[in-house]
């Protein structure tokens, strides 16, 4: 039996899951800074 | 140094920022070495052939899924007991990484089960209790974000994390308590039945996943701190790195 498919699906999915989490971490950081900038703008308007 | 020096979000924010990249570097180095040992150096298994090489991600991911949950529940207990903000933030920061490792353990287990057992899924005690762990993580994340006041979300989710810890011994001992299709532990404190090269590759991957989890949690907790403390003077004085 050729096991390449099962190994590729396992390692491939793991790589995608880790990459997705790293992207989510970067997006979370970007979102946090965006909220801080919004607060700063509101404060400047006041 | 004061014992509670790092429990201040502002201090921990900078501390985590300095450490996180090093944990990612360590994870990459250990992971590359572990994959080389596991996929190139380790011999083919006598009974399972090449497909056993799923072990180099399945077992580390499964161990990390349980370990991260334990650490998350400990942070939750500390948040409830001492009403410490940073503990609750750390628990929140760990949950997505724990859920990701639980998903990876279940997914890779399915793709290991198909060629060895003849099925992707079976309602076996070990696999089902691991699925319950994934639901606990998802429930924790949903509950933590269900409240407008994040501190209320912290308290509710911490309670769920503490209650859910009962699932960990069920996962670990399920292969002993019930007659399961899932195999028993190959690695115990008393010894192992694995070839030394296989064990080396697997342990390198365990440490790689461990370093990755710490790096990811430290990175995520920085974003959580920024969101929660965005009205404070110290955050407003910050500039994006």
In a domain, A9, yes or no: no
Domain that holds residue B169: 11-232
Q: Are the C-beta atoms of residues B208 and B34 closer than 8 Å to each other?
A: yes
User: pLDDT, tens digit, for every residue of B209-220?
Assistant: 999 999 999 999
Candidate from A9, A32, A40 with C-beta closest to B111: A9
The ipTM estimated for the assembled molecules is 0.91
Label residue B64 by pLDDT band (50, 70, 90).
Answer: very high
- B241 domain-assigned: no
The verdict on a CB contact (< 8 Å) between B236 and A40 is yes
Residue at A42 is within a domain: yes
- Tally A–B CB contacts below 8 A: 80
Is pLDDT of B2 > 70? no
Confidence (pLDDT) at B186: 74
Tally the domains of chain A.
1
Check CB contact of A3 with chain B, cutoff 8 Å.
yes
pLDDT digits 0-9 by tens, A7-28 = 999 999 999 999 999 999 999 9
Q: Identify whether B239 is part of a domain.
A: no
> Is A33 an 8 Å CB contact of chain B?
yes
> Closest partner residue to B51 among A3, A21, A43, by Cβ?
A3
Helical spans, DSSP H, in chain B: 9-36, 55-82, 85-117, 125-144, 150-164, 167-177, 196-228, 233-236
Q: Across the interface, which of B54, B61, B227 has its CB nearest the CB of A7?
A: B54
Q: B241, B230, B240: which is closest to B10 by C-alpha?
A: B230
CATH number at B21 reads 1.20.120
Residues B217-226: what's their mean pLDDT?
Answer: 96
B217: nearest Cα among B80, B75, B4: B75
Decide if B183 is inside a domain: yes
Inter-chain CB proximity B238 and A36 less than 8 Å: yes
Domain contains B225 = yes
Average pLDDT over residues B69-78: 97
Q: Do B230 and A35 touch (CB under 8 A)?
A: yes
- Is B174 among the domain residues? yes
- Residue B159's pLDDT is 97
Over 70: is that where the pLDDT of A1 sits?
no
pLDDT at B194 (0 to 100): 78
Residue B69 domain flag: yes
Q: How many structural domains compose chain B?
A: 1
Asked whether residue B237 is domain-assigned, the answer is: no
Predicted local confidence at residue B199, as pLDDT: 92
In a domain, A2, yes or no: no
Residue A12 at interface with chain B, using a CB cutoff of 8 Å: no
pLDDT band at B165 (very low <50, low <70, confident <90, very high): very high
Cβ–Cβ below 8 Å for B53 and A7? yes
Mean pLDDT within B178-206: 83
Residue A7 lies in a domain: no
Q: What is the pLDDT of residue B1?
A: 59
Residues B172-189: pLDDT tens digits? Answer: 999 888 887 887 777 776
Percentage of chain B exceeding pLDDT 70: 98
The answer to whether B105 and B128 have CB atoms below 8 angstroms apart is no
Return d(Cα B210, Cα B61) in angstroms, integer: 9
| Inter-chain CB proximity B50 and A1 less than 8 Å | no
The answer to whether residue A18 is domain-embedded is: yes
Position A8 in a domain = no
């Amino acid at each position: 039996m050729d096991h390449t498919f099962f190994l590729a699906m396992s390692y491939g999915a793991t790589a995608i899951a880790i990459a997705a989490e790293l992207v989510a971490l970067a997006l979370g950081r970007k979102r946090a800074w965006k909220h801080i900038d919004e607060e700063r703008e509101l404060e400047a308007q006041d | 140094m004061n014992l509670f020096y790092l429990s201040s979000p502002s201090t921990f924010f900078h501390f985590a920022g300095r450490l996180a990249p090093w944990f990612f570097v360590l994870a990459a180095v250990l992971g590359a070495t572990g994959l080389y040992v596991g996929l190139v150096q380790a011999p083919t298994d006598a009974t399972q052939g090449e497909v056993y090489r799923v072990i180099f991600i399945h077992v580390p991911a499964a161990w990390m899924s349980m370990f991260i949950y334990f650490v998350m529940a400990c942070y939750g207990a500390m948040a409830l007991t001492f009403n410490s903000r940073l503990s609750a933030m750390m628990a929140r920061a760990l949950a997505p990484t724990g859920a990701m490792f639980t998903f990876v353990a279940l997914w890779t287990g399915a793709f290991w089960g198909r060629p060895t057992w003849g099925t992707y899924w079976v309602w076996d005690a070990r696999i089902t209790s691991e699925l319950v762990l994934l639901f606990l993580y998802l429930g924790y994340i949903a509950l933590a974000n269900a409240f407008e006041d994040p501190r209320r979300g912290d308290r509710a989710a911490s309670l769920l994390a503490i209650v859910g810890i009962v699932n960990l011994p069920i996962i670990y001992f399920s292969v002993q308590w019930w007659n399961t299709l899932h195999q028993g532990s190959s690695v115990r404190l008393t010894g192992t039945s694995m070839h030394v090269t296989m064990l080396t590759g697997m342990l390198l991957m365990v440490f790689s996943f461990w370093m990755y989890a710490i790096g990811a949690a430290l990175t995520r907790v920085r974003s959580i701190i920024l969101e929660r403390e965005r009205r404070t003077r110290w955050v407003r004085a910050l500039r994006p790195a």
